[in-house]
């Protein structure tokens, strides 16, 4: 079996830039809802994105209870209080159903949705200033697992964000790419 392809990893000075692309068979509007609405976020992203959907608005990124349960030690290692596991953010771009871009702590996430026939080409670009507690390979792996879980959710399937074996294999491969 061929190993799954990794996201693209580059550096911009001290910043690690991660780029993931996936083609979905659903229209942009469906994918847009999946990346922006709480009821969908909880299936693939470790936190809710709370705040006004206007460019420049302040956001609060609050980890879901199930994320805290599964990854509490990593969240604590990042310096968060598990009783209030929230990070500040800012909405940079809100252009439905094309571009959703925001910051949370030291990371900037940009989702671009481009029509692709009857489906959508999804590109997630992450600019990470600081690594996760286990390093940038862990950061890259986390977003890789999230984007795969997003695709599964849109296709009405499930993906395990916390599969230890898959996480370890991806971290090894991302460490080599970094």
The CATH code of the domain that includes 134 is: 3.30.530.20
Q: What is the mean pLDDT of residues 7-33?
A: 96
* 51 DSSP assignment: S
Q: Is residue 168 part of a domain?
A: yes
In this structure, are residues 29 and 166 in contact, taking their beta carbons and an 8 Å threshold? no
Please give the tally of structural domains in the chain: 1
pLDDT tens across 152-177, in order?
999 998 887 778 899 899 999 999 99
Residue 13 lies in a domain: yes
Question: pTM for the complete prediction?
Answer: 0.90
- Give the domain extent around 111: 8-44+97-177
Does residue 79 belong to any structural domain of this protein? no
Residue 173 to residue 171: CA distance in whole angstroms: 5
**Residue 49 belongs to some domain of the structure:** no
Residue 65 lies in a domain: no
Does some domain include residue 83? no
What tokens does 68 get?
């805290």
Domain-located, residue 40: yes
């Amino acid at each position: 079996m061929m190993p799954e392809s990794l996201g693209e990893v580059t550096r911009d000075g001290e910043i690690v830039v991660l780029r993931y692309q996936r083609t979905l068979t659903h229209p942009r509007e469906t994918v847009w809802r999946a990346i922006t609405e709480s009821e969908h976020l909880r299936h693939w992203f470790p936190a809710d994105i709370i705040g006004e959907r206007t460019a420049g608005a302040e956001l609060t990124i609050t980890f879901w209870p199930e994320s805290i349960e599964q990854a509490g030690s990593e969240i604590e290692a990042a310096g968060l209080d598990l009783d209030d596991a929230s990070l500040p953010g800012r909405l940079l771009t809100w252009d439905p159903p094309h571009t959703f871009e925001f910051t949370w702590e030291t990371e900037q996430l940009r989702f671009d949705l481009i029509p692709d026939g009857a489906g959508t080409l999804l590109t997630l670009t992450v600019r990470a200033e600081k690594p996760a507690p286990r390093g940038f390979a862990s950061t890259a792996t986390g977003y890789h697992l999230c984007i795969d879980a997003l695709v599964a959710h849109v296709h009405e399937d499930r993906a395990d964000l916390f599969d230890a074996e898959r996480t370890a294999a991806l971290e090894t491969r991302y460490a080599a790419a970094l």
